[in-house]
Amino acid sequence: MFAAAAKADTDTAALIRRGLETGGQTDESEVTAFTDGCPGLRCILVDAGVAQPPILDWFPIAMRMQDAAQAAGGLLTDGPGG
């Protein structure tokens, strides 16, 4: 599963389970999830049968940092010459 909408009337854990089964998951499969750090996702992954802790995907963090850097670049400075 690539993404799911929060607060939708959808059983996200069931969607993940179905996607894993469709992808060929077996009882011996070790599944690793990559997430953007959503705090509620860990419980959903456990409900879906993903036992290993997720790995944080750094791309969303990098995008947030880029947005913050661009916002900070537009701020006025209180120092001399600025």
Output the tens digit of pLDDT for each of the chain's 82 residues.
Answer: 556 666 667 788 888 899 889 989 888 888 888 887 777 888 888 998 888 888 888 887 788 788 888 888 877 666 665 5
Q: What number of H helices and E strands is found in the chain?
A: 3, 2
| pLDDT at res. 6 | 63
User: Which residue in the block uniquely carries the two structure tokens 């690539």?
Assistant: 2
Q: Which tokens in the block code for residue 35? A: 């997430």
